[in-house]
Amino acid sequence: MESTAMERPVTIRLHSSIRHPGQDQETHELKAKGRLIEKAGTSYLQYVEEQNGQSIQTVVKMSAQDALIMRKGAVTMRLPFIAEGERLGEYGTGPASLKMLVRTKKLDFVEEMERETASGRFAVTYELHADGSLLGTYELMITYTEGTK
């Protein structure tokens, strides 16, 4: 039995803030065109990000209980989230790769699917740890709207 996927073009807005121990908070904004894919009751966002002249393909698997961010290209990353829990992740640039503990503090996903339009909001607050040390605390908010608004 094959499951069918529904795909819609979306405009994605991403806002992130990062607090590294002993440093000021950094914030980043990104606006991209991408695709929302609904498959077997799960929502996926796909988009391409340009960073220092190089492309990074990103897929975000979203639900209210768990989520996963995967990036390939100039940066390779796999960050799994589980509501108020911990999972092992990985981050790499070039040949170097670092295993990390992803400690999810808050996970929130709201989506509205209608015949004509789709929109949603995905928010996660998490800590990244490597070798027993806190690398930073991250807050990520992704909003998306069907179409090119």
User: Is pLDDT above 60 for 149?
Assistant: no
Coil/strand/helix, residue 23? coil
Exposed, middle or buried, 116 (CB in 10 Å: 0-12/13-18/19+)?
exposed
Structural domain of residue 122, as residue ranges? 5-146
Q: Rounded mean pLDDT of 50-76? A: 91
pLDDT range class, residue 6, cuts 50, 70, 90: confident
Number of domains in the chain: 1
pTM to 2 decimals? 0.89
Residue-level length of the chain: 149
pLDDT range class, residue 1, cuts 50, 70, 90: very low
**Residue tagged 């904004």 (tokens):** 29
Hey, what are 34's tokens? 């991408």
What percent of the chain lies above the pLDDT cut of 90?
70
pLDDT range class, residue 140, cuts 50, 70, 90: very high
Domain CATH code at residue 98: 2.40.128.20
Q: Rounded mean pLDDT of 95-120? A: 88
- Report how far residue 100's alpha carbon sits from residue 107's, in angstroms, rounded to the nearest whole number: 18
- Report how far residue 17's alpha carbon sits from residue 36's, in angstroms, rounded to the nearest whole number: 24
